[in-house]
Amino acid sequence: MQRGERSAAERRRSIPVATLTDPDFLAHALRHTILSLVRREGPDLSARQLAVFLISYLEDGPHTVRGLAERLEVSKPAITRALDRLGELDLARRRPDPRDRRSVVIQRTPRGRTFLRDLKAILADSLEAAHEALRAAAREQDA
């Protein structure tokens, strides 16, 4: 990091907590995050695929197709299709559940961990960009 640059964690801490719950701020951050994901080299996930990925990586497991379907309130075939895509991209794998061989559990992958790290960095940048957009809008209103 060059002198004068702030880390992603420092940038996030500079955003007031009240701003983090502002719907306009959240919409800007979401837009920036999605645009960044679409524009970058690498996998382009649907909302459902991203939801399955995030649950699998951010919530304690083990995660099963049945459990993910219940959690997302979608059918098991919809989860299977999402997992097929995540498997093609090597972001997650399915393997037999050692406790119940009829069931399948979701396994994290090194490439999936890298994608999550990149996603967190994109989100940190998006929060800063959204905060700056709202500050600029406020300055414009005050002028």
Helical H segments across 40-109, by residue range:
47-58, 65-72, 76-88
- The whole-angstrom separation of Cα 39 and Cα 63 is 30
DSSP-based three-state secondary structure for 4: coil
Nearest residue to 49 via CA among 79, 76, 93: 79
- Kindly report the number of other CB atoms within 10 A of residue 30's CB atom: 13
- Output the tens digit of pLDDT for each of the chain's 143 residues: 454 455 555 544 566 655 667 788 888 889 999 999 999 888 889 999 999 999 999 999 899 999 999 999 999 999 999 999 999 999 999 998 888 888 889 999 999 999 999 999 999 888 888 878 777 777 776 76
| Cα 100 from Cα 121, distance rounded (Å) | 37
**pLDDT of 5:** 53
Query: Quick one: CATH architecture of 8-142?
Result: Orthogonal Bundle (1.10)
pLDDT tens-place string over residues 53-90: 999 999 998 999 999 999 999 999 999 999 999 999 99
The confidence score (pLDDT) of residue 53 equals 97
pTM: 0.79
